[in-house]
Amino acid sequence: MQLIERIKQHTGIALVDAEQTVSYGQLVQQAEQVASQLAAHQLVALVMENRVASIIDYLACLMARAPMILLSDITQLELYTEYQPNFLLYSNQISALTPLSVGQKTHDDLRLLLSTSGSTGSPKMVRLSAQNLDSNTASIVKYLELDSTARSITSLPLTYSFGLSILNSYLWVGASLVVTETSITDKAFWALMKEQAVTSFSGVPFHFETLQRLRFFNMSLPALKVFTQAGGKLRNQVLQAFAEHCQVNQQRFYVMYGQTEAAPRISYLPPKYLLEKLGSIGISVPSGQLTLVDESGCEISESDQEGELVYQGENVMMGYAANRVDLGLGQGESVLHTGDLAKRDADGYFYITGRKSRFIKMQGKRISLAHLEEALKQRGVTENACLGQEDKLVIAYAGSQHQSTIVAYLKELSMHSAFYQLILLDRIPHTSNGKVDYPTLKQQACL
């Protein structure tokens, strides 16, 4: 794997946290020690926290060619029993879970399994190969113009494909990463940003909305040169404010678009076009290709015509998995039908216009509304309907006694109350053919 080979060649500082500075040499040595205790092609359930120990474990799995499922905490292990993980890896400690003689052997190329449904807990996973990860990392490095002088910070969870791509791309070029579990709402985070001379900050729309409220533009962070934003559409008003701030301070702001299925980056908007193309997701990442297709699957060549956004490239996943047997499958077609509707302007820049299927992005995580409805029904909320848009979830339900059940479940999913709205109805409206009347619900919810 190119990422591992590159890391082994680097010198200098790789990771910094509140207690230590880890050189590339130390990072490789410690990862190799953990890797020696793992077995190739055997599945590892890795508890991936924003800690140095977790990064060592992640690299150890890549070195050992042991594919991994990333868990945000150990309690998530029960969600993935269908995959029969062989090892549990947590803070450099390995525990055997399933004998190596049990379970389907994983494919030689498989390296990583990531959830595709965000925080809704579906066991459906994206299968990513070494080539998928290497290809996307190389593209990100190229368009962000990264080199060894760059320094980022773990403002995003490393279990999230966006957060993980930052780790991969910075290690690829021999840059450094400040590792912290501190929230951006904590003064200690910004003290660390300044003290460690962090050059790049990454976030989802929620982060940048929060930064505005924190009066970020008044902060003194002389080393900060680059912003990257993905995980959903940022409001044009907020985006314009950051664009103007960056112009004054000679900083670059990259709007990006991606999906976990593409490991995860698909497009980026060059900073020089941020104001001119406000709201655009930009152009394809290097070595990829973006097109639009109509409902018949035919390519749309005209500008300003809406169609489904389709991406092709070596970073497109091997395919999906639902159980251990699926982990033996190889690379599928390297074409991704994103499920998003978009238009392309006369200059070739793309704009998302809607979603083909019922998904929303909440706090940077892609959520299936259908899965959410089913999960609530299983908890006794038999009459419910979920709808929404970027960073706003609306749940309509019948029966006032169910409110506490819904709130408790959303809390389980770490969903902040600022991002959802509950509507109590006498009954859920249905159309004449018995389907939920979502247009009526949208009007009631003012979406």
Are 283 and 369 in the same domain? no
Q: How far apart are CA 95 and CA 327, in angstroms?
A: 21
- Does residue 433 have a pLDDT over 60? no
Are 120 and 216 in the same domain? yes
Question: Among residues 309, 333, 353, which one ends one of the domains?
Answer: 353
Are 302 and 396 in the same domain? no
Confidence of residue 434 (pLDDT cuts 50, 70, 90): low
Show the tokens assigned to 31: 């990862």
Degrees, nearest 5: CA angle 134-135-140: 95
Say which range, 210-214, 333-337, 429-433, has the weakest mean pLDDT.
429-433
Are 346 and 377 in the same domain? no
Task: Find, among 77, 257, 91, 251, the residue nearest to 165 by Cα.
Answer: 257
- Does residue 376 have a pLDDT over 70? yes
Number of domains in the chain: 2
Q: What CATH number did the domain enclosing 391 receive?
A: 3.30.300.30
Are 174 and 95 in the same domain? yes
- Which amino acid, residue 239? L
Determine the pLDDT at residue 425: 93
Provide the percentage of residues in the chain whose pLDDT is more than 90.
74
Are 296 and 373 in the same domain? no
Are 203 and 283 in the same domain? yes
Global pTM value: 0.82
Beta-bridge mates of residue 68: 44, 112
- Which domain covers residue 399, as residue numbers? 359-445
pLDDT single digits (tens) 106-157 = 999 999 999 874 434 457 899 999 999 999 999 999 999 999 999 999 999 9
Which run of H or of E encompasses 417?
none
Are 336 and 376 in the same domain? no
Residue with tokens 């500075």: 21
The per-residue pLDDT of the chain, averaged, comes to: 92
Q: How far apart are CA 393 and CA 278, in angstroms?
A: 25
Are 342 and 411 in the same domain? no
- Does residue 95 have a pLDDT over 70? yes
Q: How far apart are CA 304 and CA 269, in angstroms?
A: 18
Question: Among residues 321, 353, 385, which one ends one of the domains?
Answer: 353
Are 237 and 266 in the same domain? yes
Q: For helices 161-172 and 130-144, what crossing angle results, to 10°? A: 70
Question: Among residues 353, 373, 406, which one ends one of the domains?
Answer: 353
Q: How far apart are CA 412 and CA 296, in angstroms?
A: 40
CA atoms within 13 A on the CB side of 369: 23
Are 70 and 206 in the same domain? yes
Are 291 and 420 in the same domain? no
Q: What CATH number did the domain enclosing 134 receive?
A: 3.40.50.12780
Say which range, 73-87, 93-107, 145-159, 175-189, has the weakest mean pLDDT.
93-107
Show the tokens assigned to 285: 């990442």
